[in-house]
Structure 1
Amino acid sequence: MTKFLLAVHVLAAIVAIGPVTVAASMFPPAARRALAAPDDTRAVETVRLLHRICRVYAVVGVAVPVFGFGTASDMGVLGDVWLVVSIALTALAAVVLAALVLPRQEALAEGRGTREATVRLAMFTGVFNLLWAAVTVLMIVRPGSTTGA
């Protein structure tokens, strides 16, 4: 069962978190283009599409910690420091996405925003991406693990 849970956890991370990370990173420059040319329907639609990708895959991304908890429970590592830190970073990434990235994307996608807002959004997106990178490293390295990794 552990292998199944781990496989689903990793697949969910790739399928859900990957698109959010890429689309969120593409959003600020796309929003700057749309702000510079508000009559460019393609630029505006690109911004809306990137925001929709981030919203949808953020919801799908809930599967990652769900299967992560199942995997950790099955492996008996729920109390390990590397996992507790990973859980905290994952929760922080979720807060950054839900409270700082998605609302700012929505405002820009609706035409309410400035070029300066895209700079702040890019910063929050970078923080979100760095948090996920740290979680990924912790999942691979697992400091103090006895599994040999």
Structure 2
Amino acid sequence: MTKLLLSLHVLAAILAIGPITVAASVFPRYARQSAGDGAQGPDGVTAAFLHKICRGYAVVGIAVPVLGVATGSRMGVLTDAWLLTSIALTAAAGALLLTVVLPGQARLLDQPGDAIPELRPAAVRLSMTTGIFNLLWATVVVLMIVRPGSTTGV
């Protein structure tokens, strides 16, 4: 059962978190480019689609920590420092996604075409926040692989 849970956890992380990190990373570029041609132009449609991907996969992404806790419980490592750190980083990434990234994307999509001066700084801030979100996930992945103190760690 542990191997099945671990496999589902890893698959959920790849299939849910991967698309969010990519879509969120490229969103600001298309949001900035859509300012000139409006929300109905090709870049505006792309930005709206990327936002929809982020929202949809954020819901599916809840499976990642749920399966992770179930796996950790079966493995008896729920009190290990590396896992507690991973849980905290995952919570921080989730909070960042829900409170900053997704609302920031929605605000950029709602900007009128004549708001170009306000659009660029907002897109830059969103890019930076998305980078932090991605860095948090990368750190969790490293902790999951290295697992400090484990017998399988290097």
Q: TM-score under structure 1 normalisation?
A: 0.95
**C-alpha separation between the residues in 1 aligned to 2:89 and 2:108?**
27
Aligned to 1:114: 119
Return the offset for 1:96. Answer: 0.6
**C-alpha separation between the residues in 2 aligned to 1:47 and 1:130?**
22
Q: Secondary structure at the match of 1:114?
A: helix
Cα displacement string for residues 92-123 of structure 1 (whole angstroms, at most 9, x for unaligned residues): 00011001100000111222661110000001
Aligned to 2:70: 70
Structure 1 vs Structure 2 CA RMSD: 1.3
Aligned to 1:129: 134
Q: Secondary structure at the match of 2:82?
A: helix
Return the offset for 1:39. Answer: 6.7
Cα displacement string for residues 13-68 of structure 1 (whole angstroms, at most 9, x for unaligned residues): 00000000000001011111011332761111101000000000011000000000
Unaligned runs of 5+ in 1: none
Amino acid at match of 2:87: I
Q: Secondary structure at the match of 1:78?
A: coil
- Equivalent residues in 2 for 1:86-125 (5 A)? 86-111=86-111, 114-125=119-130
Q: Secondary structure at the match of 2:148?
A: coil
Aligned to 1:46: 46
**C-alpha separation between the residues in 1 aligned to 2:96 and 2:39?**
31
Instruction: Give the conservation status (yes or no) of the 8 Å contact 1:35–1:115.
Output: no
Unaligned runs of 5+ in 2: 113-117
Q: TM-score under structure 2 normalisation?
A: 0.92
Going from structure 1 to structure 2, the CA distance change for 1:42 and 1:4 (only over 3 Å counts) comes to same
Instruction: Give the conservation status (yes or no) of the 8 Å contact 2:147–2:153.
Output: no
Q: Which runs of 4+ in 1 moved over 4 A?
A: none
